[in-house]
Amino acid sequence: QDASMAFKKALIERALGAELGHHLGYPQGAEGPE
């Protein structure tokens, strides 16, 4: 069950990161426009 929980958490974090990158126009952790 812990593995399943960790997997779901990783999946959600990846989805949120992709969502942020999509909205901001650049990937998370990348240098954004000044």
**pLDDT of the residue at 32:** 59
CB under 8 Å to 33, separation ≥6 — which residues? 25, 26
Q: What is the pLDDT of residues 5-17, one digit of tens each?
A: 999 999 888 877 6
Which of the two residues, 21 and 7, has the higher pLDDT score?
7
The yes-or-no verdict on residue 31 having pLDDT over 70 is no
Give the separation between CA 32 and CA 13, rounded to whole angstroms: 20
Q: How far apart are the first and last CA of the chain?
A: 44
Would you say the pTM of this structure is higher than 0.75? no
**pLDDT of the residue at 23:** 60
**pLDDT of the residue at 8:** 93
